[in-house]
Chains A and B, each alone.
Chain A
């Protein structure tokens, strides 16, 4: 793996800390009190999602992390792993529940997902911003109420639960924003 120094730190650069891959989300050069210089960073631990403030001595060397951001097609799940394929090379990778997390409820076969690979293994899966899901359970729709004045919970075929307008019925296909878990429109 390569090394860099604090002079190469930029937002978005991926480094290794305590054996874990991290993304630098903020970096400030400081030389307080006319003393030695530091790089004050905020780093996001990519495996756990926690953000930590980390200060380096200026000039210190830091190991870089082998992180690759790719776009891959979601294939299927066997309950334990979720399988993704690179559409160009047809190479497949399997992601565990830690990598997929809550996003499992937005995974639709053949959708292009954002897959973050660390040393070739998926550590983070992000679905497209918008997905189309089918309603499998909700209270009966109120005919004629298209005012959007109220909302009710609806369960989707993937397990996602989204607040939807009152007129929505079982079997409706809905466009959902995966970043906010919000109803957008009927698909």
Chain B
């Protein structure tokens, strides 16, 4: 029989309870709950993310959103103040024991916060939801030094390739420095983060992995971006949000240039999002947190399917 949900009724209840606690947390802090469309006219230029397309709605193509980020920043730029949203997000070809192509996300933006303030608030929220845990902080560089005894900024590509191949088995050819660093981080650092009743914050990612974060004005190699890890799961990703429309546009154009060189299709840049930045996005920090993974951690589940009612594919149980 395959009609039944893959999660237990206990997990259904736990999800409802989790969402109620999240709403209570933000209500106490006067952060407004909002809703933005899942279906919009623009996708993302992100080099490695694939949006799902919907035909027959917009003239060219409609896109199921990979995150509510652009729409929520448009609200912040329009004067909403601090906002949060619990919504679905969609990413093509992301499937595995920790990924489902359709997943649930908690995303929030705090006006007048920087990423340090937002980390404090994230820690408060997670200890409310999961119970008492100690906080652990590493910069990206410290994490590599602590767990792998290497400096990710100074190590040469050759050395990095050699270390990666020795410890990670057979790897694809022609990987870039960030690929090796990411694979090493995933295999050898991530499983050790947030264990023994801790919540681990990784800060100061390389500028090459800045996405929509500001670059640190005092250290141009570093982006004001952080990630949160619990029980070896990457749970959330936060930014001190980039306000500079020109810089954002340059990054999107560079993405499309890269896509062209790598024979990927050009993705139209979201003019409305750029327009919102041009009109002025207030200083804010924002974060996206995976709710299915949070539920897995809370309930001690091994596979994302055990957190979902009806997963896209039933292949990972």
Residues of chain B lying within 8 A (CB to CB) of residue A7: 93, 95
Residue from the list A27, A29, A53, A54 in contact with B99, Cβ < 8 A: A29
* Minimum C-beta distance from B293 to chain A (A): 13
Contacts of B172 in A (CB 8 A): 38, 55-57, 60
> CB distance B47 to A36 under 8 Å?
yes
Closest beta carbon of chain A to B93's beta carbon, Å: 6
User: Are A35 and B209 within 8 A (Cβ)?
Assistant: yes
Q: Kindly list chain B residues whose C-beta atoms are within 8 Å of the C-beta of A29.
A: 94-96, 98-99
Contact A35 B93 (CB under 8 A): no
Which of B170, B187, B205, B315 is the one whose CB lies under 8 Å from A54? B170
- Within 176-200 of B, Cβ neighbours of A (below 8 Å) are at 178-179, 181-183, 185-187, 190
B268 proximal to A (CB < 8 A): no
| A26–chain B nearest beta-carbon distance, Å | 10
Beyond A37-B93, A58-B93, whether A32 also contacts B190 by CB under 8 A is yes
Which residues of A, 126-151, contact B by the 8 Å Cβ criterion?
none
Q: Is B237 within 8 A of A30, CB to CB? A: no
CA distance A35 to B187 in the complex (A): 15
Interface residue B171 (Cβ < 8 Å from any Cβ of A): yes
Interface residues on A, range: 20 to 34
Is A10 close to B, CB under 8 A?
yes
Per a CB cutoff under 8 Å, which of B94, B185, B234, B315 touches A37?
B94
* Contact flags B193-223 to A (C-beta < 8 A → 1, else 0): 0000000000001000101000000000000
Q: B97: CB under 8 A from chain A?
A: yes
Binary interface profile of B, 224-253, with partner A (CB < 8 Å = 1, else 0)?
000000000010010000000000000000
B48 is contacted by which of A28, A36, A54, A60 (Cβ under 8 Å)?
A36
Size class of B's contact patch? 20 to 34
B216 to chain A, nearest CB (A): 17
Assess the B48–A31 pair: CB atoms within 8 A: yes
Chain A residues 91 to 138 lying within 8 A of chain B, measured CB to CB, are none
Give CA–CA (A56, B97) in the complex, Å: 17
Q: Does any Cβ of B come within 8 Å of A171's Cβ?
A: no
In the bound assembly, the distance between CA atoms of A55 and B187 in angstroms comes to 11
Complex alpha-carbon distance, A28 and B172, angstroms:
15
Q: Determine whether A52 belongs to the interface, using a CB cutoff of 8 Å to chain B.
A: yes
**Assembly CA distance A35 to B261 (angstroms):** 17
Contact with A along B10-22 (1 / 0, CB 8 A): 0000000000000
Chain A: minimal CB distance from B193 (Å): 12
Contact with B along A20-42 (1 / 0, CB 8 A): 00000001111111111110100
Question: In the complex, A29→B316 CA distance in Å?
Answer: 11
Shortest CB distance A14–B (Å): 17
CA distance A60 to B173 in the complex (A): 12
Residues of B within 8 A of A49 (CB): none
B168 at the interface (CB under 8 A from A): yes
- Nearest-CB distance from B71 to chain A (Å)? 19
Q: Determine if A52 and B190 form an interchain contact, defined as CB atoms under 8 angstroms apart.
A: no
Q: Quick check: is B169 within 8 A (CB to CB) of the other chain?
A: yes
In the assembled complex, the CB of B241 is this many whole angstroms from the nearest CB of chain A, namely 15
Chain A residues in 8 Å Cβ range of B93:
7, 37, 58-59
| Chain B residues with CB below 8 A from A31, complex form | 48, 94, 99
- Contact call A35/B170, Cβ cutoff below 8 A: no
Q: Contacts of A56 on B, CB cut-off 8 Å?
A: 172
* Chain B neighbourhood of A36, CB < 8 A: 47-48, 179
User: Would A54 and B185 count as touching, CB distance under 8 A?
Assistant: no
Which residues A143-164 have CB closer than 8 A to chain B?
Answer: none
**Distance in Å: Cβ of B90 to nearest Cβ of chain A:** 14
A34-B237, A36-B179, A55-B171 known; 19 new pairs, CB 8 Å cut-off, are A29-B95, A29-B99, A30-B183, A31-B99, A32-B182, A32-B185, A33-B205, A33-B209, A35-B48, A35-B182, A35-B209, A38-B183, A40-B187, A53-B169, A53-B170, A54-B169, A55-B169, A56-B172, A58-B93
* A and B contact pairs by CB, cutoff 8 A, 26 listed: A7-B95, A10-B315, A28-B96, A28-B97, A29-B94, A29-B95, A29-B98, A29-B99, A30-B183, A31-B48, A32-B182, A32-B183, A33-B182, A33-B209, A34-B46, A34-B209, A35-B48, A35-B178, A35-B182, A36-B48, A36-B179, A37-B48, A38-B172, A40-B187, A55-B171, A55-B172
Which residues of chain B have a CB within 8 Å of any CB of chain A?
46-48, 93-99, 168-172, 178-179, 181-183, 185-187, 190, 205, 209, 211, 234, 237, 315
